[in-house]
Structure 1
Amino acid sequence: MNIPSLLVAHGSRDPRPQQRLNQLAKSLEERSSCSLVGTATLELAALPLHQQIQAFAQFSLSAGYSQVQILPLFLSSGVHVNIDLPQEVAIAQEQLGTNIQLKLLPYLGSQLNRLVPLITTKMATVETKHWILVAHGSRHLGGNLPLEQLATQIQAIPAYWSVTSSLETQIQRLISSGVNHIGIINYFMFSGGITDAMGSAQPKAITQSIQQFSLEFPTINFHVISPLDMNDHLVDLIEDLLN
């Protein structure tokens, strides 16, 4: 009997990440190797995460299962992965009792050997030697180390949306050194408010930053690689992790 799986993402006010998350769960459920696949978010949900976990676990229990595995769809090892998620799972387990067991899997971003080919395949479509890997970033001790390791493997320089070494800083450094073709890799699970905010009420996102640089430096060519989003290769990777 296959193990029910709960995909946990960060959560967003932008509706697109939740739509992609639901599509991902549906694609996995349609494959014969997966059974029940649910979704939950750490933030911006109607219920706290531990209650979302409980609801999915109780549904799984009623369907005859005795275990649920939880896959964090996070790409960096920050506070959410190291503190928030384990705490929420522990609360849910305590309230569920011993009738069903929760198993927290390693976060998606820890699978660098599987993620690198997904990224380099996209990079191969662009002719440039100068790449910036832009990610959310973390203030948690050691949280950005996997991102820096990934950047090294794909021969890119890291930049962060929420901490120092910002995208703007790294772009300025490359331009100052005479580079006129710059590739930008959006290292996020899904397109959303950070990558390309929609509406004037949204804060400036990555796309808006690049558009501003394009206006300031019209001779510089920027090539933007989209987030992981939904594709067969990502579904294959997650299916393997769940099995």
Structure 2
Amino acid sequence: MLEVEHLAVSYGPLPALHDVNFNVDEGQIVAVLGTNGAGKSTTLKTLVGLMRPNAGSIRYRGEPIGGVATYDLLRRGIALVPEGRRVFAHSTVQENLELGAISRTSNAEIQQSFERIYALFPRLKDRRTQLAGSLSGGEQQMLAIGRAMASKPALLLLDEPSMGLAPIFVNQIFELLVELNEQGTTILVVEQNANLALEIADRAYVLDGGRTVLSGSADEIMNNEAVTAAYLGA
């Protein structure tokens, strides 16, 4: 579904990614792990067109998408839940979801998506007329995921979904990711909480210094003591 090969990206003269490689097969949950500064967020920004690659290739369903506009990628079925949630604080929950569906044209299908999102996130349904900025951090993360799901993505990208959340919300978010995956959404999650990400992932990649340094099944990464000590903070 998604193939990234030898990806290199710079912030002006400063290189951020040197040689990032990974694949996401349809139906999988794939985790990208690494410490701060490893290049995880830059990778996601490049995948959704917010940064342009200097070298390498990104292919989505066989088509090259490196440098394709973000709006076009959304129409093709790729949606991002950004780090820090970034909900529209002065808009209601419902208005945030409507903005997420802006690339779609069928009102009937959009309404079906809203019903699905509210079924997944009952807290949001109870607060649908509430301003997003007044929600708790966990509720805002649910809204950020719901807003991305309103575009009906085939591939959902998440940047540090556990960041700043209480443990009870973190567990709920990751349980919901598993449910979304079981319902047919392919997921790529960038996460510092490596153990939690590996619990739900099929496959994992570790970035270090802007390069892919390790890959394997989630079980292989989790059970390799040397890997855990070197890259996962154990």
Question: Which of the two has higher C-alpha Rg?
Answer: 1
The structure where strand makes up a greater share of residues is 2
Highest RCO, 1 vs 2 (Cα 8 Å, sep ≥ 6): 2
**Shorter-chain TM-score tier:** under 0.3
TM-score by length of structure 1 reads 0.27
Q: TM-score by structure 2 length?
A: 0.28
